[in-house]
Amino acid sequence: MGSGDWFKTFISLKKVKEDGSKHGKGKSASARKANGSMWRYLSGKESTALAITNGSSSKRSRRRGITEDTAATRIQTAFRRYVASARKAVHRLRAIGRCRGAIAALTAEKQASSALIHIHFWNKMQAEIKARRQGMVNENRIQQKKQENRLKLEAKLQELEVDWCGGSETMEEILQRIQQREVAAVKRERAMAYAFSHQASC
């Protein structure tokens, strides 16, 4: 409203000057005084109008400054909240990654331990099967040896009876010959056992 009054006074001054120029130079002193008083009045009004406009503009600038400050603080707080939420999200993602890594490590460890248990059990079973086979082979060999020894003993007894009854050899010669046969039989058995064990190990 102050700026409108100032504009009106400026227009009225122009009109007054134009009227004065139309009437000519023969103006009375009273008219000049009236114009001077009017100019003073108008200039006073103008100064008040300028002061009002300056005050209103300063108020507006203050309001603008306040609104700009509040907007800046709001933007800063919103940005800080966004940054804080982003940091929290990053921390959560890192925690999730750590949890996934720990779970993967645990599952890998469990799989490795179960695989080791299965391998150990399989090796144990294979060792037991091998031991049973070896035991069965040894039992068969022992039984075979027993039978062979029994047959040999029977054959020796028969030979002794025959040699003793109808031979011309003395008792010492017969016993020496029997011992030689026994030594040769033992050597043969050892050679066969060595060959059999060598085949089993291969």
**Series of mean pLDDT values for 10-residue runs along the chain (202 residues):** 54 56 48 48 50 56 72 89 93 91 89 90 92 89 86 76 62 77 84 77 60
Only one residue has tokens 């047959």, namely 151
**Domain boundary at 98, 120, 142, which?**
120
Only one residue has tokens 């599952």, namely 107
Cβ-based burial of 5 (10 A; exposed 0-12, middle 13-18, buried ≥19) = middle
Domain that holds residue 172: 134-201
Note the pLDDT of residue 87.
93
Q: Are residues 44 and 108 in the same domain?
A: yes
Spatial contact of 169 and 136, defined as CB atoms under 8 Å apart: no
Tokens of 63: 């309001």
The number of folded domains in the chain is: 2
Query: Rounded CA gap, 39 and 41, in Å?
Result: 5
Residue 81 lies in a domain: yes
| Longest alpha-carbon distance in the chain | 201
Tokens of 114: 């179960």
Other C-beta atoms closer than 10 Å to the C-beta of 197 total 11
Helix 171-201 with 29-166: angle, nearest 10 deg:
160
Note the pLDDT of residue 83.
94
Q: Are residues 114 and 143 in the same domain?
A: no
Query: Rounded CA gap, 70 and 200, in Å?
Result: 96
Q: Are residues 106 and 30 in the same domain?
A: yes
Q: Are residues 109 and 21 in the same domain?
A: yes
Q: Are residues 25 and 98 in the same domain?
A: yes
The contacts of residue 178 (CB under 8 Å, 6+ apart) are 156, 159, 160
